[in-house]
Amino acid sequence: MSRVLVIGGGGREHALVWKLRQSSQVERVFCAPGNAGIRELAECVPLDVSGGVPELIRFVKDHAIDFTVVGPEAPLVEGLVDRFTEANLAIFGPGQAAAQLEGSKAFAKGFMARYGIPTARWQVVRSWEEAQQAIRQIALPVVVKADGLAAGKGVTISETKEEALHTLESLMLRDTFGPAGKTVVLEECLQGEEASVMAFCDGQTLLPLPSSQDHKRVWDQDQGPNTGGMGAYAPAPVVTDTVMRHIESSIFTPFLKGLAAERLSYHGLIYFGLMLTSQGPKVLEFNVRFGDPETQAVLPLLQDNLLDLLGATVQGRLRQMYPDGLKVQSGSAVCVVLASGGYPGRYVKGKPIAGLTGYSAAQVATDSHVTVFHAGTAREGQTTITSGGRVLGVTAVDTTIEQAIQRAYQAVKKIHFEGMHYRRDIAARALKVLQRTSS
């Protein structure tokens, strides 16, 4: 029997805790800091996860934690895994050097260039003067990316040079994202269908989960500013078996070669953000952890024991333990994010949430196909209240993507809090792909 600590407090971490609790090998789960939903499944502890490494290590030792899972990217980029490894504590996640694949867009681009991983044409600018000169010569539209961590919001597509300069000025002179925007990556704007593939990685083997597709823009039809993610579905029908084989040969293989060549310690989850172009799949970005909200759509489809998977990854035994890949149930999953009024801009916290049965990833009404994952929630007495921009992720699983969409939105209609907004077209692109392929 194992004791597990999950680090983080959002919807992704709720899904991880929920899946871990399904394992008969798990005796007890702790979560730092957790949220109102997670506390129904785990013991939430108010630990500092953004710099309080000695406190975390002390907690793990004092409570005889057997295994730690890191949810968010910041602790990985700051080197939490290295500190745990030095203390001989089992932890799931890449080391600090490898975490730069997400922590620095410039590092990631250089890595892709060195090992022939297909991606957009790009250049790095490190000063306002250099940025102005680059924009005068660049082709439009151009993608402007803050080099460092920006909570999924540091990417802007500029249709004109004036727009690009305005974005660069905001990043480099006005410190919109602080140090993360002092260096900027300018990219060719790729055309095609976006998709994501998350895979367990033990440094020698990549074991992919079902493909998924995130919805970054805040409004329907991909309008408005980028967010941390307004919904997701899995699997993505655009990632056919043929496309997946291409991803494995042109991206997975050189990625593993790059890890080995640069001696990057990687025992965690790698997320490939992809654009499926007419020239084949190209990498838009790496994330070095489970995606959010993709995890809330993908984990409900996973049939394998999550604790076993995490352990095999850390021990370097993925190929040995899963020679035939992962076991995934048939059907589709759709996750619709319910957000606070004003998100991704300023929003008000503390709004009571109505329509939930209980306070956890419990069922909405009596629909066993639907699970509600809490993201930005807290408890005030006996009431669940909003405490973040993305508040809940309503996930439905069903035989077809059409049925999953219908179930998810039926459940969404039963939940309410003041200012609540959500996209009404999650997974609509999947229906279009299926219509094209069936006609």
Pair 199, 274: CB distance under 8 Å: no
Cα–Cα distance, 1 to 370 (Å, whole number) = 29
Cα–Cα distance, 431 to 138 (Å, whole number) = 36
Q: Can you name the residues that pair with 80 across neighbouring β-strands?
A: none
Say if strands 184-188 and 142-146 run parallel, antiparallel, or are unpaired: antiparallel
Structure tokens at 248: 């494995």
- Name every residue whose Cβ is closer than 8 Å to that of residue 186 and which is 6 or more positions away in sequence: 122, 123, 124, 125, 131, 134, 135, 138, 142, 143, 144, 145, 164
Instruction: DSSP for 345-381, please give it.
Output: S------B-BS-SSSSS--STT-TTEEEEESSEEEET
**What is the structure's pLDDT at 365?**
47
Q: pTM of the entire structure?
A: 0.94
**What is the structure's pLDDT at 359?**
35
Q: Where are the domains of the chain?
A: 2-94, 127-182
Q: Can you name the residues that pair with 357 across neighbouring β-strands?
A: none
Cα–Cα distance, 237 to 429 (Å, whole number) = 9
**What is the structure's pLDDT at 367?**
67
CATH code of the region 2-94: 3.40.50.20
What is the residue whose two structure tokens read 């352990």? 311
Neighbour-count burial of 217, counting CB atoms closer than 10 A to its CB (0-12 exposed, 13-18 middle, 19+ buried): middle
Cα–Cα distance, 100 to 148 (Å, whole number) = 9
Of 239, 269, 303, the C-alpha closest to 437 is 239
Q: How far apart are the first and last CA of the chain?
A: 52
Pair 337, 390: CB distance under 8 Å: yes
Out of 3.30.1490.20, 3.90.180.10, 3.40.50.1220, 3.40.50.1820, select the CATH number for domain 127-182.
3.30.1490.20
pLDDT by 10s per residue, the chain, length 439: 899 999 999 999 999 999 999 999 999 999 999 999 999 999 999 998 876 789 999 999 999 999 999 999 999 999 999 999 999 999 999 999 999 999 999 999 999 999 999 999 999 989 888 878 888 888 889 888 888 887 767 888 888 888 888 888 888 888 878 888 888 899 999 999 999 999 999 999 999 999 999 999 999 999 998 899 999 999 999 999 999 999 999 999 999 999 999 999 999 999 999 999 999 999 999 999 999 999 999 999 999 999 999 999 999 999 999 999 999 999 999 999 999 999 999 999 999 999 986 334 444 545 679 999 999 999 999 899 999 999 999 999 999 999 999 999 999 999 999 999 999 999 999 999 998 887 6
Structure tokens at 107: 């590092």
